[in-house]
Amino acid sequence: MTFFMLQVMAQEAEETSGGINLILPDTDELIAGIVAFLIVFGFIWFKGRHWIGRLLAARQEAVTSRLNEAEQAKVEAETLLVERRKEVAGAQDEANRIVEEGRRSAEAIRAEILAKAKAESDETARRSREGIEADRERASEQVRDLVAVLSLELAQQVVAGSVDADSQQALVNRYIDELEGMPH
Amino acid sequence: MASPDLVHGYAAGMLEVARAEGMIDRVSDELYRVARALETSTELRLALSDPRLPLDRKQGIVEDLLGGRVLPLTLNLVSFVVAAGRSSDLPAIADRLAERAAAERDRAVAEVRTTFELDEETVRRLAASLSRATGKQVEVKTVVDPSLLGGLVATVGDTVIDGSLRHRLEGLRQALQRR
């Protein structure tokens, strides 16, 4: 390969400067150079082969490790994503549950308030009916009392004017007769 | 209102005076009637118990009311009670005196209120009937009370037998009020 490069360079120099001989060494020099090059190359190959292999292996291992890490990170990220999605879904469910619970609570409170209002309304109506009934009963009693008092006064006047002495004596005699008829 | 001991003391003293004069029954009866008249006449009761009215005026009222209608002994006993400032206690004293006088004969006092004066025969029948009805021998004291309208009311101790028209009319009134 190096030799080929030298030929290419010589050709280029030939073309630009007017002759390959201006740059090409002598054949001996060239052979010595090639041999020197091969020796150096062989030395380097012998000595640096393992080091380069280790370097490449380390490099490969590092790359592999990074790839693994990247893969792991990707897996973790995907796992995290799944978890986050689950969490989001859970949060959504929780939110739905809370909303549903709130709706049920609101419904229960509404029903309770309605029931309480109805009970109070019924109680007020009942008391009103009782009050009206009591007022009616009172008024009725007052009328009865008034009728009774007026009747009694009228009766007293009639009796006072109609019971003569004979009737008075007859009343006393009847009283005595009733006394005599009482059990001892 | 005087204490029971004071009433008892006056009644006992007046009974002894009547006993000494041998007129327990009549004095007791007259005092009972005077006491009932005093109970029913608010004006007379207020006049005899008025501390501003001089004693001679009170005595004059008593003499005007009772003079010639009751025994002089009865008149003097009433005047004595009025002079002692116990006119308001005269009904209780007369009641106690009547009870003691009746008790001495093993009898109880039966107060009989009617709208008119009962004759002796009626009083006798009444006494016999009340004795049978109450199981006690009674001595009838009659009181005229026009407010009864008719019939009579007999009271023997705590027992009241009301056969008056007023009571029946009151029952009628209560019956009307209950309907």
Contact A184 B133 (CB under 8 A): yes
B114: nearest Cα among B83, B145, B77: B145
Task: Name the residue range of residue A52's domain.
Answer: 2-152
Residue A74 lies in a domain: yes
Top-tier CATH class for B1-105: mainly alpha
What are the chain B neighbours of A149 within 8 Å (beta carbons)? 173
Contact A145 B177 (CB under 8 A): yes
Mean pLDDT of B153-174: 86
- The per-residue pLDDT for B19 is 93
Which DSSP letter does residue B119 get?
A: P
- The per-residue pLDDT for A179 is 82
The average confidence (pLDDT) of chain A is 84
Closest alpha carbon within chain A to B113: A172
Cα–Cα distances (Å) from B103 to A173, B60, B108, in that order, read 27, 34, 6
Closest-CA distance, A154 to chain B, in angstroms, reads 10
pLDDT above 70 (res A100): yes
Contact A180 B132 (CB under 8 A): yes
Closest alpha carbon within chain A to B124: A176
Residues 143-162 of A with CB under 8 A from B: 144-145, 147-149, 151-152, 155-156, 159-160
ipTM attached to this prediction: 0.71
d(CA A104, CA A95): 14
Q: Could you read off the pLDDT of B59-102 as tens digits, one per residue?
A: 999 999 898 889 999 999 999 999 998 888 999 999 999 999 98
φ and ψ at residue A138, rounded to 5 degrees: -60, -45
Check if the beta carbon of residue B130 is closer than 8 Å to that of residue B154.
yes
Counting the structural domains of chain A, the total is: 1
Run of H or E residues at B114? strand B108-114
Residues 69-128 of B with CB under 8 A from A: 114-116, 118, 122, 125-126
B176: nearest Cα among A139, A136, A145: A145
Helices A165-181, B120-134: inter-axial angle, 10-degree rounding: 30
Instruction: Using pLDDT thresholds of 50, 70 and 90, give the confidence band for residue A65.
Output: confident
Give the closest of A152, A173, A175 to B169, CB-based: A152
Run of H or E residues at B109? strand B108-114
Task: Tell me the helix, strand and coil percentages in chain B, rounded to 5.
Answer: 65, 15, 20
A156 Cβ partners below 8 Å, 6+ apart? B149, B166, B169
pTM metric for this prediction: 0.53
- The per-residue pLDDT for B18 is 93
Q: Between β-strands B108-114 and B159-162, what pairing exists: parallel, antiparallel or unpaired?
A: unpaired
What count of other Cβ atoms lies within 10 Å of the Cβ of residue A76? 12
Residue A172 lies in a domain: no
Q: Which amino acid is at A76?
A: E
Asked if A139 has any chain B CB less than 8 Å from its own CB, the reply is no
Residue A70 lies in a domain: yes
Run of H or E residues at B112? strand B108-114
B158 Cβ partners below 8 Å, 6+ apart? none
**Strand-pair partners of B144:** B114
Residue A181 lies in a domain: no
Mean pLDDT of B146-159: 88
Asked if B129 has any chain A CB less than 8 Å from its own CB, the reply is yes
Closest-CA distance, B177 to chain A, in angstroms, reads 5
Asked if A141 has any chain B CB less than 8 Å from its own CB, the reply is yes
B125 Cβ partners below 8 Å, 6+ apart? A176
Residue A25 lies in a domain: yes
Closest alpha carbon within chain A to B133: A184
Residue A92 lies in a domain: yes
Residue A158 lies in a domain: no
Q: Which amino acid is at B94?
A: A
Instruction: Using pLDDT thresholds of 50, 70 and 90, give the confidence band for residue A133.
Output: very high
d(CA B1, CA B21): 29
Q: Where are the domains of chain B?
A: 1-105, 106-179
Q: Could you read off the pLDDT of B3-33 as tens digits, one per residue?
A: 888 899 999 999 999 999 999 989 999 999 8
Q: Could you read off the pLDDT of B153-163 as tens digits, one per residue?
A: 999 888 888 88
Mean pLDDT of A82-97: 90
d(CA A158, CA A146): 18
pLDDT above 70 (res A159): yes
Q: How many CA atoms lie within 13 A of B1 on its CB side?
A: 3
Residue A17 lies in a domain: yes
Asked if B137 has any chain A CB less than 8 Å from its own CB, the reply is no
Phi-psi region of B85 (alpha: psi -120 to 50; beta: other; left: phi over 0): left
